[in-house]
Structure 1
Amino acid sequence: MTLFDDPAFNFNGLLALGGAGSGSAEVGEVLTAVNTINRAGLSSQTYVRTFHELGDRLMGPPPGSRPDDATRRSRALRAAQYYGQALFFVLGSDHPGNEEDLYRAGRRAWETFCDLCDPQPVRAQIPYGDTTLPVWFFRPEPSDHCRPTVILTNGSDGQNVDMWTYGVAAALERGWNALVYDGPGQGQLLFVDRVVFTPTWEEVVSPLIDWLDMRPDAETRRIALTGLSMGGDLAPRAAAFEDRIAALVAMPGCVDPWLGFPPELRQILTPHKEETNRIWNEEVVPELTPPRTRRPRCGNASNRSRRRRCSRPARARPSPTSGHPPAGSRRWTSPMSSHASPCPHSSSTTTTSSSTPGSRSRCTQP
């Protein structure tokens, strides 16, 4: 199905449309937004404005009515989806500085949805290094009955609402618990705390399992871990070192996330740090900020969005009870110069090892 001529916009539009199956979108709303964007002329600006306004409209009451809690809950969930759609392309719009505000709007919609769930998810802040991991623990009913639990891991661009679509609703229907969380490089940790991705994802998941292990309603011998999109690379890494995971689902199974970066981005990396910096700063960076008279290009916005998730050192340490060595020296990258770093593979000296948890590990150019 083609909603937009541009494949990146089309992919995201289809993602929103697919959310209708779990109530996180409504077919008529999405198609109306698509028609509005196409009539105005497809661009990051029109896409962001249309979905942002749709989210704002749903967070208010329907004109002339006083909605019940079920209606407000449904509207808030859909608003979270539409804010997430706007957030994905905001860096290519006329107002890239609105990124954190858009994230916070989506987060408020998500929290409103959670407040109106019955039962409400248990919220927690689980210690992780210098910060905490926000957790939403959904249960089919509020008793202490011991149940299996699925931990749902997002990718590089998803929001909490995507985890509802991906598996929370299905888990609850089957009598399972479902745990949603923001890890480094995701959600609150990225947009508010400025903590970026780490390759040592076992140090993210182990504190979550420690927390579940203390709950009477979670059967710790029956914990499944899922990973969606980039999570298909992160979740298997966690399962390789965390033996309390009974089942693993990676969608897709990702053995080389480097290949997920656009070819034009991979091609600028050379064996020499100085040459890579020259190409980046003299040839690429000027193209990343087109003049206001030029239509914002989706590829640039997408690339910038993904680079920022990996472009600052992560300072995370594992929970003291997780049993794994500190991660302070293992991070995706450090900036190559005073200019923006193009991606996590551009470190001049890179050593990788996934076989020993204590070894130095960075993303590397193949």
Structure 2
Amino acid sequence: MKLYSSIYTGPLLAALLYSGVASAAYSTAHSPMLLLSNDSTMNFDLLTPLGESITGGGDVGAILGAAKDIKAGNMTSFSEVFYKLANDTKAQAEDPENASDPVNVRDTWFSAASYYRKADGYLHGNWNNPLINRLWAEQMKAFDKGIATLPIPGKRVRIPAHKSNFTVEAIWYSASKSKDEKLPTLIIGNGFDAAQEDSYHNFVAPALARGWNCITYEGPGQPTVRRNQNLGFIPDWEKVATPVVDYVLSEKKDVVDKDRLVLVGNSLGGYLAARVAAFEPRLSAVVLIDGVWENYAAYARELSSEMRAIYEAGNYTQFDKTILSARKAGKLPTGAAWGIDQGLWSFHTHSPSDFFTQTKKYNVSSFIHKIKMPVFVGNAELESTYVGQAKKVADALGDRATLHTFKGVAGFHCQTGAGQELSRTIHAWLNKTLGKAGNGH
């Protein structure tokens, strides 16, 4: 959700924050595809469920119908349209005539869950909005009904982070019914705002089809942990992922090939996964979609020189007042409004300056030299958040890294809308690096 000058006017708005990590947008003049909304931020947020539809996370016609009904730039409209669509789809899933067909049930429940997640996306400016928890409970129930009908049902697990004050929320997916077939396994984490339920559509379904076990997980700041445990992001992410590795190599040791254990980090997860890789030698490889060098630089580049000077001089009261006043007055474009809302909520602060200060801790420079395993570094040609950072990560890793640039319609942040190209590229690299699933190591 980049703040292009064509979207807004005036020096105040030009000074404001952009932090749309998981919903990066692009100008209509430079888009290589037909747009779903005249609001570039909402266009991206419509492209997300449309992309997930290839693995059952939505129905193309329903999403295009929602795009038609949403008022561009109106965040309330976006939420209301998807809330209605979610409820209508839930009713279809509950129709007794569908109950005898598990495929009908699965895809319909997955779609309902996806629509509830989209209805939630613009609500986080008011932490007391009851819909934040109500919609999430609905999406989790719908998603659980979906994974219960998989050929091998997915299973939610809660993994205590014994040295920390939180519990990791995870979902385990088996690729085989055999209880002693050791298969390659993906550990999959998202970033700034996407849910582990999204990871099923973007990473798990393609991996299961290729014979890979998967486990998705969430830690502090991410959707379910932020809600249920009231915790914001932490930079030392090994405290989150190491317990997941422990779980996989102990509870699932009979079905996991420990020599093909791969960590995936998506969006801000590109930083989080890199951090884990530096301190977790049991991993065989790491996939970063996309490469992240430092968060503060990504966000601060969206400030005017005047606003950045105010922040860096330590004039936090002025900085906060300027941003929050504009947000309250409804003067911000969608990308800035969403970015502020989501950033404050997920980092658990009411202060934009504190949010910026926290992002400075998310920098790989101090530990990237400790990463010893092979690393796939995704780079998006049209990236508008971590601009130039993927190459910097790959250069620092040297011969340990494979840098791949996704272009054209696959060139948006995290290859949103191009799931087939993303999956085949990742798995071609994994096959080359670690060996094909089912062939041993």
Same fold (TM over 0.5): yes
Q: 1:351 to 1:73 in 2, by over 3 A?
A: closer
Match of 2:3 in 1: none
Larger RCO (CA within 8 A; separation ≥ 6): 2
Match of 1:134 in 2: 169
1:222 is aligned to 2:260: yes
Match of 2:147 in 1: 114
1:254 is aligned to 2:265: no
Match of 1:307 in 2: 344
**What code does the residue aligned with 1:250 have?**
L
CA distance in 2: counterparts of 1:201 and 1:180, whole angstroms: 15
Q: 1:140 to 1:351 in 2, by over 3 A?
A: closer
Would you say the 8 A contact 2:189–2:266 is kept in 1? yes
CA distance in 2: counterparts of 1:44 and 1:19, whole angstroms: 21
Match of 1:276 in 2: 316
Would you say the 8 A contact 1:92–1:296 is kept in 2? no
Match of 1:2 in 2: 35
Tell me how large the CA RMSD over aligned residues is.
2.9
Would you say the 8 A contact 1:268–1:280 is kept in 2? no
CA distance in 2: counterparts of 1:295 and 1:66, whole angstroms: 46
More helix by proportion, 1 or 2? 2
**Aligned to 2:56, which of 23, 46, 50?**
23
Q: Calculate the TM-score normalised by the size of structure 1.
A: 0.80
Q: Deviations over 1:291-320 (max 9, x none)?
A: 6xx8984521332112221235xxxxxxxx
> Alignment length, in residue pairs?
324
Match of 2:235 in 1: 199
Q: Deviations over 1:78-123 (max 9, x none)?
A: 1111111111112369x94522222222222222212222211233
**Aligned to 1:175, which of 211, 221, 244?**
211
1:161 is aligned to 2:201: no
Q: 1:351 to 1:80 in 2, by over 3 A?
A: closer
Would you say the 8 A contact 2:93–2:108 is kept in 1? no
Q: 1:350 to 1:299 in 2, by over 3 A?
A: closer
Match of 1:48 in 2: 79
Q: 1:72 to 1:296 in 2, by over 3 A?
A: farther
Secondary structure of 2:296's counterpart equals helix
Query: Unaligned 5+ residue runs, structure 2?
Result: 1-33, 369-441
**What code does the residue aligned with 1:36 have?**
D
Q: Calculate the TM-score normalised by the size of structure 2.
A: 0.67
CA distance in 1: counterparts of 2:298 and 2:117, whole angstroms: 21
Secondary structure of 1:51's counterpart equals helix
CA distance in 1: counterparts of 2:317 and 2:269, whole angstroms: 29
Secondary structure of 2:311's counterpart equals coil
Secondary structure of 1:124's counterpart equals strand
1:98 is aligned to 2:142: no
**Aligned to 2:66, which of 33, 37, 48?**
33
Q: 1:264 deviation in Å?
A: 3.2
**What code does the residue aligned with 1:207 have?**
P
Q: 1:122 to 1:193 in 2, by over 3 A?
A: same
1:354 is aligned to 2:391: no
**Identical-residue share of aligned pairs (%):** 24
Q: 1:343 deviation in Å?
A: 4.1
**What code does the residue aligned with 1:194 have?**
N
Match of 2:327 in 1: 288
Q: 1:32 to 1:268 in 2, by over 3 A?
A: farther
Match of 2:178 in 1: 143
CA distance in 2: counterparts of 1:234 and 1:137, whole angstroms: 20
CA distance in 1: counterparts of 2:297 and 2:345, whole angstroms: 18
CA distance in 2: counterparts of 1:71 and 1:350, whole angstroms: 45
Q: Deviations over 1:160-211 (max 9, x none)?
A: 2320122101111111101011111112111221111111112211111111
CA distance in 1: counterparts of 2:280 and 2:219, whole angstroms: 16
Q: 1:288 to 1:229 in 2, by over 3 A?
A: same
CA distance in 1: counterparts of 2:187 and 2:64, whole angstroms: 32
Match of 1:236 in 2: 274
CA distance in 1: counterparts of 2:351 and 2:94, whole angstroms: 46
Secondary structure of 2:97's counterpart equals coil
**What code does the residue aligned with 2:263 have?**
L
